[in-house]
A = this chain, B = another copy of it.
Amino acid sequence: MVKPAQVLVVAGTHGNERNAPWLLEHWRRQPEALQRHGLDVALVLGNPAAHKVNQRYVERDLNRCFAPELLADSSRNEADLQRARQLLACHGPDAEAPSLVVLDLHSTTSAMGNSLVLYGRRPADLALAAGLQGELGLPIYLHEADASQTGFLVERWPCGLVIEVGPVPQGVIQAQICRQSQLGVEAALAVLAAAQRGRLRLPAELVVHCHLGSLDLPRHPDGSPAACLHPELQHRDWRPLRSGDPVFIDPCGKEIGLALPPDLVGESVCPVFVNEAAYGEKGIALSLTRRECWPVGPDWLLALTDIASQLAQRGAPL
């Protein structure tokens, strides 16, 4: 017999994102806050060592540690990678107390609002995202086909997504950011509970922003930045850009326009993670996406319902 599984909620995968860990403390003191949907929810602080020192990570970004080859490489033992293995051992789909769905709570210095990030096109993830978009209208960033950014936490669970809220500085707790994160988690649990009871209805379409690529700042030959983000682009995540629109500005005031590859000239693209503090070291000043409307696939709901049916029920829903 299959073991009834939990829904895993991870807060503080990055140690300097403080809003979700603040909520986690609250949920631990008041467990009923997340119990109204009758699901068995496991709460975990993603990277306690990084959280303690208020830094994104200790040695390696925990949210880039979940690539199978990295997890399996016994010669690698960075603190964060060990934490990734530990999270899978305790809460992975094959753990003693398994989780089948993971909600990974993040915050960003970019003006993303309350948004969802998906990694790839797994039907169950798409169904969960469609349900959440139907409920709260959240925009969705689909990250895929980017060889330079891999090993995301949610990929190691059968179903999962990131709830990403901003703008908020690193190290700062803001009530509004917490509120939006909480709304996202509550809505996700409602969608999962509805799927479990066979009552989930998905919208006909999913609006999704598909990753096209990322732009780095223009740089001097020595690697130092030669320009910064154009002020007109600051806080303008999701707003369409066209080829030639100003994206950077140098210290003398010279504007640098968006250069799109030939197949995208004439199209509009939507920027995300604009000037995210943590991405400077990754060489990402912003990422570009294409807004698409997809019909919701008939297999999506089935995939999510299959997983949701394996989730434990914690008494009758209130």
Contacts and interface: CB of A to CB of B under 8 A. Distances in A.
Nearest to A53: B55
B169 A109 contact: yes
Interface in A70-84: none
Nearest to A224: B25
Interface stretch (A174-182, A186-194, A308-316): A174-182
A224 B252 CA distance: 46
A173 interface: yes
Instruction: List the number of copies, as a whole number.
Output: 2
A173 B229 contact: yes
Nearest to A22: B228
Contact of A171 (B23, B168, B170): B170
Contacts of A251: 22-23, 25-26, 29-30, 178
A277 B169 contact: yes
B249 A175 contact: yes
A234 B171 contact: no
A244 interface: no
A225 B24 CA distance: 12
A281 B171 CA distance: 10
Interface residues of A, number: 36
A183 interface: no
Contacts of A277: 169-172
A154 B231 CA distance: 31
A122 interface: no
Contacts of A185: none
B231 A176 contact: yes
A131 to B, nearest CB: 26
Interface in A200-258: 224-225, 228-231, 234, 249, 251-252
A176 B275 CA distance: 13
A45 to B, nearest CB: 12
Contacts of A138: none
A30 B253 CA distance: 13
A136 to B, nearest CB: 19
18 contacts: A25-B224, A25-B251, A29-B251, A109-B169, A109-B171, A109-B172, A169-B277, A170-B171, A171-B280, A172-B277, A173-B225, A173-B228, A173-B275, A174-B231, A175-B228, A175-B229, A178-B228, A178-B251
Interface of A: 22-23, 25-26, 29-30, 54-55, 109, 167-176, 178-179, 224-225, 228-231, 234, 249, 251-252, 275, 277-278, 280-281
